[in-house]
Amino acid sequence: MNSSDVTLFNTQTKDLKAAKKEWSERLFKTPRAEGFRALAAAASTVPDQNVVGVGIGEQIVDDKPTGALALKFLVRVKYPQHELSRKVVLPKNISGLLVDVEEVGFFRRFAVARPKKLVKAAATMPNPKAKIRPAQPGCSIGFRDPSNQFTMAGTFGALVKDNKGVYILSNNHVLADESRLPVGGPIFQPGLLDGGNQVPIRLRR
């Protein structure tokens, strides 16, 4: 985008903002009713009842974006042109600016939720790289590469159990080197990359 394009864009944006302000003030002079009665009311072709918002956005023609900025009239119902009289039809352009009419339904304010009671957090979070006994979910763990080509560490995800025992749940690459390690191989906490030593972890049961 060259300097002349930038100047044109800035001018167009300024004009669109001015048009948005003018039409917002024109259509929303008085507050509208909210709630169920407003939602249940029959839709109307009259702009100050049908238009629920005025904005700036990309013009859409035949459900396809055009890449051009336009003043957007957001309406409850987008009526076919032949159903609109001259008195209620919205302008097709405003002072040379593109205009787009988009159906959005009805905006309404949701009920304000009561604030939830905050659970007091622990004063300090345990360092996941520290030695934790018994080992717990969230701490550093990892295997030892049998060929000593790399040192790694991962995260203890969770404890799971069945009628045969309690197990560590984590990623395959953290516990089994993508299924390349033998079943029953030792897992260290913290992981060796995080300063662990050659002592396998013990689980909380």
Q: Hey, what are 129's tokens?
A: 């790289």
At 177, the amino acid letter reads D
Domain boundaries, the chain: 3-103, 126-205
The answer to pTM > 0.75 is no
Residue with tokens 């009713």, as numbered in its chain? 33
Select from 181, 187, 190 the least CA-distant residue to 200: 187
Per-residue confidence of the chain (205 residues) as pLDDT tens digits? 667 666 777 788 899 999 999 999 888 876 555 544 454 455 677 877 888 889 999 998 888 889 899 999 999 888 888 888 888 888 888 989 999 999 988 776 666 777 777 666 555 667 889 998 888 899 999 999 888 888 899 999 999 999 988 888 999 999 998 888 888 888 999 999 988 887 666 554 4
What's the order of all strands across the beta sheet hosting 97-103? 51-61, 64-75, 97-103, 93-94
